[in-house]
Structure 1
Amino acid sequence: MKSKWIMTALVVGLMAGCSSSPKYTLTGKLTGIADGTEILLVPGATHKDVLPEDTAVVRDGTFKFTGDVPEPRFYYLRVNGYYGGTSLFIENSKIELTADVKLEDTDGRKWAGFENVQVKGSPTHDLYVEKMKFKEELNAQYKAYMDAGADILSQTNQAKAENNQSKMDSLGKTEAALKFQREEKAFFENVNSTYQKAFSDNKDTWWGPFLMLNVMSYFTPEQQPWFEQFSDEAKNSYYGKILHDQLYPKSFVGEQAPAFSLTDEKAEKISFAELSKGKKYILIDFWASWCAPCRKEIPNLKKIYAEYASQGFEIVSISIDDDAEAWKKAMEKEQMQWPNFLDADKSLSNLFNIKAIPACFLVDEKGQIILENFKSDELEKNLKTFFKR
Structure 2
Amino acid sequence: MRKLVLILAFFVFVNFSVVFGVGEKPVSKAVDFELIDTHDDLVKLSSYKDKQPVLLFFWTTWCPFCQKELRVLNSMYSQLLEGGVEVLSINVGESPDKVSNFIKNYYLAFRVLLDKDSAVARQFGILGVPTYLLVNKEGNIVFSDNFFPNNYKDLISRQEK
Query: Which TM-score tier does this pair reach, normalised by the shorter chain?
Result: 0.7 to 0.9
Q: 1:305 aligns with which of 53, 57, 77?
A: 77
Q: Which has the higher contact order (CA 8 A, sep 6+)?
A: 2
Task: Note the alpha carbon deviations across 1:115-155, whole angstroms, 9 max, x for none.
Answer: xxxxxxxxxxxxxxxxxxxxxxxxxxxxxxxxxxxxxxxxx
Paired position in structure 2 for 1:340: 112
Shift of 1:326: 1.8
Query: Per the alignment, do residues 274 and 299 of structure 1 end up closer, same or farther by CA in structure 2, a change over 3 Å counting?
Result: same
Residue 242 of structure 1 is matched in structure 2 by none
CA 348–373 in structure 1, closer or farther in 2 if over 3 Å, else same:
same
**CA shift for structure 1 position 304:** 2.0
Are 1:265 and 2:20 an aligned pair? no
Is 1:315 the counterpart of 2:87 in the alignment? yes
Counting only pairs closer than 5 Å after superposition, residues 101-116 of structure 1 correspond to structure 2 as none
Shift, 1:321, TM fit: 4.1
Shift of 1:323: 3.1
| Structure index of larger Rg | 1
Q: CA 1:192 to 1:326, structure 2 compared with 1: closer, same or farther past 3 Å? A: closer
Query: TM-score of the superposition, structure 1-length normalised?
Result: 0.35
The equivalences for 1:128-277 within 5 A come to 186=2, 188-191=4-7, 217=14, 249-252=24-27, 255-275=28-48
Cα distance in 2 for residues equivalent to 1:379 and 1:291: 24
The whole-number CA distance in structure 2 between the counterparts of 1:312 and 1:277 is 12
Residue 294 in structure 1 maps to residue 66 in structure 2:
yes
Pair 1:268–1:250, CA change in 2 (3 A): same
> Which has the larger helix fraction?
1
User: Where in structure 1 are there 5+ consecutive unaligned residues?
Assistant: 1-182, 196-215, 221-245
Q: What is the CA–CA distance in structure 2 between the aligned matches of 1:304 and 1:355, rounded to whole Å?
A: 25
Give the % identical residues: 21
Report the Cα offset of residue 269 of structure 1.
2.1
- 1:127 corresponds to: none
Q: Is the 8 A contact 1:286 1:360 kept in 2?
A: yes
CA–CA separation in structure 1 for the residues paired with 2:99 and 2:14: 24
**Is 1:380 the equivalent of 2:155?**
no
Q: Displacement of 1:298 after TM fit?
A: 1.9
Residue 328 in 1 paired to residue 144 in 2?
A: no
Report the CA distance shift for 1:190/1:263 in structure 2 as closer, same or farther (over 3 A).
same
> In 2, distance between residues paired with 1:277 and 1:379?
25
On the 8 A contact 1:285/1:317 being kept in 2, the answer is yes
Is the partner of 1:301 in helix, strand or coil?
helix
- Indicate the SS of the match to 2:75: helix
CA contact (8 A) 1:289 1:321 kept: no
Contact (CA 8 Å) 2:57, 2:132: kept in 1 or not? yes
Cα distance 1:285–1:387, how it changes in 2: closer, same or farther (>3 A)? closer
Provide the TM-score with structure 2 as the length reference.
0.79
| C-alpha distance in 2 between matches for 1:377 and 1:219 | 20
> Aligned partners of 1:328 and 1:317: how far apart in 2?
13
Per the alignment, do residues 248 and 354 of structure 1 end up closer, same or farther by CA in structure 2, a change over 3 Å counting? Answer: closer
Distance 1:386 1:352 in 2: 19
Equivalent residues of 2:56, 2:133 under 8 A apart: yes
RMSD of the TM alignment (CA)? 3.2
**8 Å contact from structure 1 (residues 321, 327) kept in 2:** no
Q: 1:276 touches 1:314 (CA, 8 Å); kept in 2?
A: no
* C-alpha contact (below 8 Å) 1:361/1:372 kept by paired residues: yes
Q: Alignment length, in residue pairs?
A: 156
Structure 1 residue ranges (4+ consecutive) displaced by more than 3 angstroms after TM superposition? 216-220, 384-389
